[in-house]
Amino acid sequence: MSELYHECGIAAVYHLPNRDPSPLTPLGDPEKTSQLISRLLLDIQNRGQLAAGMTTFNPGRNQLIDTHKDVGTVTEVFQLNHQQTFNSLMKKYEGPAAIGHVRYATCGKDDRSYAQPFERHHIQKSKWFSFGFNGQLANYQELCKEILTESDFHLARETDTEILMHLISQELSKENPAELFDMLTTLSKRLDGAYNIVFLDALGNMFVSRDPVGLRPLCYAFDGSLFAAASESVALANMGFEAEQIKSLPPGCAIVIQDGELTIREYSKPTQKAHCFFEWIYFANVCSTLDDQSVYITRKRLGEELAEQETVPIDEDTIVVPVPDTAKAAADSMAYTLRVPCLEGLIRNRYIGRTFIEGANRKDKVRAKYTPLPEVLEGKRVLLVEDTIVRSTTMKALISQLKERGRAKEVHVRVACPPIIAPCFYGIDMSTINELFAPKFLNGGEMSPEVEEAMAEAIGADTLKYLPKASIARAVGLPGSSLCQACIDTTYPTESGRQLYQIAVENSLNDNGEEAHRTYDVTLSSSPVRS
């Protein structure tokens, strides 16, 4: 859905010395390895469009590590449409190692100071570092208060990335700083939530780590002298790595490159795995494979699940229409199973950014983003397939457009996901409970035909059907016990997540009609953090 956004994505590249040269290194020159970051980030642009950046390492320049970042897409920040400017930028920042980041914010402002990577300068090379972060710390407020109990400590930004920077700085500033693996072990005891990290220091040391719960995906690959990592496998595949070279980093593990030597090791023993199921059904690129499970195959199976529970009469006027773009695989599969056409009755304008229509009302935004085709829709019984419904405002406007402009005879909404009933505190920008569409109809109960009928009436659909929760594990191909499904069943995999949900429930019960805030905004408002 256009109402739902991910927090960010990370990437890293390193030319390892004393290994067979990789043909994937640009022009065979180790110094140009850093150029690969822009390519990696472009392939994970789906994970964040607000800002992008990279930090590179080069022992032959005064700025041993140096950071380029700004607000904008990868194309804008790295000047990909202006070859001369891009080449100059790559020359300035060339080096054998680099990390990168794309950002969408669940907290914090949309300005350059919040763009990542975050770099911390220091005269001592081991304490001069930069890092990028994918996820969200559910115990952000607790860590804020802990840091600010020291009178000479200060937080300049309202973001958990700065919290993480302070914690890393503290570990590196100890009289006898721990090895990077041990530092991660220490940090893991203080952090709650999702926190995949790419790190690079002025000694040329790097680590790539995945949190012990494994909420967010992280993939890596080797080819001779070239090491690369990214939030999604598609970025590595498009760089030229073979499928067998690309692997998912297990939860609680890190890859550390120190003194040119690479080691993969567990830094924290996972007590529970909780891969975010939304990665497969919505966020990840359909070409990616995460934790050995294909995103495309998952969505194909979701479509088959939708087809199996279909009850609307199927005739020559019945068509399946996906809401572009992430629902297309499920819609194609559903239509194939039902033996009806899957047609693009809605065309999405891919050249309109979110900011362009920020001031418009929801109906105007939908009109600008989607164009219904009456030559496809007129007089048809439309099975409209969507990934999920969050607040329902976009869906309501879409149905109106399909009937008014598209002249569809009927619109039956089919959601390739169970109802969203709770916010996410691990890196997905979701509403408060009272803003979500489903809870007000379910009221703590189970889905029933009567509830679905009331939901359909509320959004102007002829009928509405969701998938049951059991469909998710079957489609992903992993046990339900290894998936985070908190937004559909309120079972949060970490202690701070459970605490935040209780706050969210209390806020929903005490709602006085004022403008709603996300739970982590509300809880942080009582903290002394200032921007």
Give residue-wise pLDDT tens across range 452-507.
999 999 999 999 999 999 999 999 999 999 999 999 999 999 999 999 999 999 99
In contact, 69 and 112? CB cutoff 8 Å? yes
User: Residue 529: pLDDT band by 50, 70, 90 thresholds?
Assistant: very low
Give 114-168 pLDDT, tens digit per residue.
899 999 999 999 999 999 999 999 999 999 998 888 878 888 888 899 999 999 9
Give 155-202 pLDDT, tens digit per residue.
888 889 999 999 999 999 998 899 999 999 999 999 999 999 999 999
Residue recorded with tokens 């030597």: 261
In contact, 66 and 2? CB cutoff 8 Å? no
Percent of the chain surpassing pLDDT 70: 92
Whether residue 107 lies in the annotated active site: no
More confident residue, 510 or 87: 87
DSSP 279: I
Cβ neighbours of residue 260 closer than 8 Å, sequence gap 6 or more: 16, 17, 18, 204
Which pLDDT score, from 0 to 100, does residue 370 have? 92
In contact, 66 and 103? CB cutoff 8 Å? no
Strand duo 463-466 + 410-415: pairing: parallel
In whole angstroms, give the CA distance from residue 416 to residue 159: 32
Percent of the chain surpassing pLDDT 90: 81
Which pLDDT score, from 0 to 100, does residue 2 have? 45
- Alpha-carbon dihedral 330, 281, 72, 85, rounded to 10 degrees: -70
In contact, 247 and 226? CB cutoff 8 Å? no
The active-site residue, picked from 8, 107, 276, 484, is 8
User: Residue 282: pLDDT band by 50, 70, 90 thresholds?
Assistant: very high
Transcribe 57-79 into DSSP letters.
E-TTSSSSEEEEEEES-HHHHTT
Strand, helix or coil for residue 325: coil
Mean pLDDT taken over the chain:
91
User: Residue 518: pLDDT band by 50, 70, 90 thresholds?
Assistant: low
Asked if residue 522 has pLDDT above 70, the reply is: no
Within 13 Å of residue 486, how many CA atoms lie on the same side as its CB?
26
